[in-house]
Amino acid sequence: MENELSAELTFSGPLPRAPAVEELLRPLAAEALKKSLGTRGRGELAAWAVTGDRLSLTLAADGGRPHQALLSIARQLGESLGRTSKIGVRTLRGTRYRVRFEVPTPPTRPITLPIPHTLSFEGGSAVLELTDLSEEALRDNWVDRVVQLVLEKAKRQAYAGKEQYWSLLTPARPREHAGRSDPTEEMLKRQWVRSGPTKGKWFLGPTVAHLYRTMERIARTEVLEPLGFIEVVQPHHDSFDILLKTGHLEGLPGEFYYAAEPRSRDPADWERFTDLVKITRAVPSEELAKLVGPPSAVLCYAQCPTIYWWLSGRTIPTDRLPLKVFDRTAVSNRYESGGRHGLERVDEFHRIEPVYLGTPEQLAALREELLARYARVFDEILELEWRTAWVTPFYMQQAGGVGVEDATAHVKGTIDYEAYLPYRGTREASEWLEFQNLSIVGDKYTKAFTIRAQKGELWSGCSGIGLERWLTTFLAQKGFEPKEWPEGFRNAAGTMPRDVDFL
Ligand code: ATP
Ligand code: ZN
Ligand code: MG
């Protein structure tokens, strides 16, 4: 049979003689297998043996996996033997679990797994064998999760290099650009910004702070407030629990900044540390590592996960839908490593993140309104050369719901906004900058966080308004002479502050 689970049960005392156990075990196993496999498949008790206080047994099944049946057999056996022989199940362990499953995209390279196993592929199917599974591992369906992981890894190999699908939605309207230079270089030359004091962080002086705040105000007053978005204020730390639910923890562990707590706040515990600082005038890193615990959270990566947490377990009344909120307080932190470039790709940046929840129809309509409002800002206030593209990660394309040919007709997915940066070269050959995006994710997060509508289906989505990207895009295209800036932006910016003329 395709799936086979061998297990060992230890009892609190010697088991009755074999015929008595068999009499008990056979009907229990038949019943449990039938119940857990249903009409999907069939199973059997393939082998069993008793030695002292130990029972080993093997369940085999087609069309389903037999670990739920094993758990049920163990429970009922314990109950029954408790009554007749005053013994119960002490431990339950899966000694060997062999499963066979179809792999639509066979891997081209070896697949690694972090728990004891063997894995082989033949034709279109895989044979996976796990050894030494605890009761919790059986109860928690590890085997199903490992099968999913193997399928995902195989698919990832097949799609390597084409992770994101890109197709133009609205083309750019070409414009004349006053800007020619790399805006970060120019800002540095003018001493408007300073790089540091830690990796990928920037200090914005008065002029750039004013421009950045102007961008933020435009987004709020021209897009969010007219559409009825209301502000929330959220914490800067994201909990591991939240990131487990959104999938970020498995998706992006290498992009987080991790936050750790001191093991104690008692000055006495820190005495050696402070003494070393006083003597050496340097950071005693080894001592510090002992005094600080392992990471217990991450610095905000994106705002929407914690907004979903805020709504978790809640039911939203019909007359409050679509619910439209935004956060502009939490600062985004990402370890960009080699990708860092000026203010365009930094490790700490400021985003306004609108998040919306509603019926699929409400969100489809809201997206049109957002698209129109954004377009007005980029065309009439900032006068940018920009385009939009439909980008969808490969796993969503595969999910069946998202069409690739007729992207505009579909609601679920992500739209990227991209801008031409003249300093990077020609429109055709240079890489454009993604300066914001807009997504509708279906019920992925409302399900994960158990957020319900009073009636009917509840979908959600979010949009990432990257203010450093708005700013660098604007300066790259419009240059640094306020008199050459579009009138709409000049009006919004008002009087520029006096910067500091360093000597
Ligand atoms: P990219 O592909 O450029 O890394 P992303 O897909 O990681 O962007 P999202 O997580 O979708 O970005 O975040 C939405 C917005 O946040 C982006 O459109 C951009 O405006 C901004 N953003 C993302 N990463 C950075 C960064 N390192 N520096 C500045 N802004 C950023
Ligand atoms: Zn989001
Ligand atoms: Mg990124």
Catalytic residue among 98, 334, 351, 387: 334
Query: What pLDDT score was predicted for residue 397?
Result: 52
Q: Find out whether 429 and 336 touch, Cβ atoms under 8 Å.
A: no
| pLDDT by position in tens, the chain (length 503) | 899 999 999 999 999 987 888 999 999 999 999 999 999 999 999 999 999 999 999 999 999 999 999 999 999 999 999 999 999 999 999 999 999 999 998 898 999 999 999 999 998 999 999 999 999 999 999 999 999 999 999 988 887 766 668 899 999 999 999 999 999 999 999 999 999 888 899 999 999 999 999 999 999 999 999 999 999 999 999 999 999 999 999 989 999 999 999 999 999 999 999 999 999 999 999 999 999 999 999 999 999 999 999 999 999 999 999 999 999 999 999 999 888 889 999 999 999 999 999 999 999 999 999 999 999 999 999 999 999 999 876 555 544 444 343 444 567 999 999 999 999 999 999 999 999 999 999 999 999 999 999 999 999 999 999 999 999 999 999 999 999 999 999 999 999 999 999 99
Omega of the bond prior to 360 within 30 degrees of 0, cis? no
Same domain, 350 and 416: yes
Token pair for 341: 């470039």
Same domain, 466 and 393: yes
Same domain, 247 and 276: no
Of 148, 168, 158, give the one whose Cα is nearest residue 250. 148
Structural domain contains residue 347: yes
Structural domain contains residue 462: yes
Q: Report d(CA 66, CA 60) in Å as an integer.
A: 7
Q: In a mutational test of the pocket of ligand 1, which residue from 349, 352, 467 has the highest number of ligand atoms less than 8 Å from its CB?
A: 349
The parent domain of residue 170 ranges over: 165-176+217-258+300-493
Query: What pLDDT score was predicted for residue 198?
Result: 87
H-only helix segments in 98-182: 135-139, 142-158
- In CATH, what number is assigned to the domain containing residue 224? 3.30.930.10
**What is the distance in A from the centroid of ligand 2 to the CA of 385?**
25
Same domain, 27 and 12: yes
Per-chain residues with Cβ under 5 A from ion ligand 2 = 302, 304, 462
Same domain, 123 and 146: yes
Query: What pLDDT score was predicted for residue 396?
Result: 56
Three-state DSSP state, 96: strand
Q: Which DSSP state fits 378?
A: I
Token pair for 411: 């609601």
Q: Report d(CA 175, CA 159) in Å as an integer.
A: 36
Q: Which DSSP state fits 345?
A: B
Task: Mention every residue, 6+ apart, whose C-beta is less than 8 A from residue 379.
Answer: 173
Token pair for 116: 């004891």
Of 306, 305, 440, 426, give the one whose Cα is nearest residue 369. 440
Structural domain contains residue 372: yes
Query: What pLDDT score was predicted for residue 61?
Result: 97
Structural domain contains residue 203: no
Query: What pLDDT score was predicted for residue 156?
Result: 85
Structural domain contains residue 196: no
Same domain, 21 and 155: yes
Of 209, 216, 169, give the one whose Cα is nearest residue 465. 216
Ligand located closest to 332 CA: 1
CB-defined site of ligand 1, < 6 Å: 302, 334, 336, 345-346, 349, 351, 434-437, 464, 466, 468-469
Sheet of strand 292-299: strand arrangement: 237-239, 292-299, 258-262
Q: Find out whether 463 and 436 touch, Cβ atoms under 8 Å.
A: yes
Token pair for 226: 């007219």
Task: Mention every residue, 6+ apart, whose C-beta is less than 8 A from residue 193.
Answer: 184, 187, 202, 203, 204, 205, 208, 343
Q: Which DSSP state fits 431?
A: P
Q: Find out whether 389 and 167 touch, Cβ atoms under 8 Å.
A: yes
264-284 exposure pattern, b = at least 16 Cβ within 10 A, e = fewer: eeeeeebeebeebeeeeeeeb
Catalytic residue among 98, 304, 327, 387: 304
Structural domain contains residue 41: yes
What residues does 316 pair with on adjacent strands? 453
Structural domain contains residue 425: yes
- In CATH, what number is assigned to the domain containing residue 130? 3.30.70.1920
98 a catalytic residue: no
**What is the distance in A from the centroid of ligand 1 to the CA of 371?**
18
First-to-final CA distance of the chain: 82
Q: Find out whether 169 and 415 touch, Cβ atoms under 8 Å.
A: yes
Count how many Cα atoms sit within 13 Å of the Cα of residue 166 in the half-sphere of its side chain: 11
Q: Find out whether 100 and 125 touch, Cβ atoms under 8 Å.
A: yes
Phi, psi of 420 (to 5 degrees): -80, 130
Same domain, 331 and 266: no
Same domain, 117 and 143: yes
Q: Find out whether 67 and 52 touch, Cβ atoms under 8 Å.
A: no
Same domain, 169 and 150: no
Q: Give the chain's domain count.
A: 3
Same domain, 308 and 269: no
Same domain, 287 and 142: no
Kindly tell me the sign of the dihedral angle through the C-alpha atoms of 333, 339, 345, 346.
positive
Structural domain contains residue 204: no
Pairing of strands 413-419, 433-442: antiparallel
Of 336, 27, 393, give the one whose Cα is nearest residue 200. 336
For residue 22, is it left (φ>0), alpha (ψ between -120 and 50) or beta? Answer: alpha
336 a catalytic residue: yes
Same domain, 69 and 133: yes
437 a catalytic residue: yes
Catalytic residue among 353, 383, 385, 418: 353
Of 60, 52, 58, 63, give the one whose Cα is nearest residue 18. 52
Three-state DSSP state, 455: coil
